[in-house]
Amino acid sequence: HQVETHINAIELASFEQALATADTRTRGIFAGVPTFVKDNTDIRGLPTNHGSQAVNGRPAKADGAFARQYMDQGFVCLGKSTLPEFGFNASTEYMGSAPTRNPWHTDYSSGASSGGSAALVAAGAEPVLVSFLIGAQSPRAVVHLLESRLPDPWERPPKHLI
């Protein structure tokens, strides 16, 4: 919680739900690894507000496809991380509260729609960032993290590999 007061990266903490589901996350290469997901990802039992005060999300009835893919690998969801409204901004300037800050230099944004998660990893509040990148800017680069991608089941391999 001490880290959170400086960077404002957690939209919704769900530690009780994480503890309740942790025992079921015993399989997969990330079995038991805690992480947050962006507030545009449906997690059963948690509201999805897309970083907007205009959306009053009801608790999701099921995990979304993206979340299910990661949870099936054993990740335990600690809650939702912040993102700019609907993810349409190159900086994590969350409209509902103070902006999410880069933990290495709090005068700066942590960058783009995955900036909340990137800031949490950079601050040591979670060990791994679970997100997807739609635009060109990687918030992992903004907060100086090494980026590595898991294979995306919907992505075609490059032609030279086919």
Please check whether residue 55 is in contact with residue 86, taking contact to mean a CB–CB distance below 8 angstroms: no
The answer to whether residue 112 scores a pLDDT higher than 50 is yes
Helices (H) and strands (E) in the chain, counts: 5, 5
The answer to whether residue 85 scores a pLDDT higher than 50 is yes
pLDDT band at 20 (very low <50, low <70, confident <90, very high): confident
Rounded mean pLDDT of 127-141?
A: 59
Q: Which residue would you say has higher pLDDT here, 88 or 70?
A: 70
The answer to whether residue 162 scores a pLDDT higher than 80 is no
Give Dmax over CA atoms of the chain in angstroms.
49
pLDDT band at 2 (very low <50, low <70, confident <90, very high): low
How far apart (Å, rounded) are the C-alpha atoms in residues 112 and 9? 12
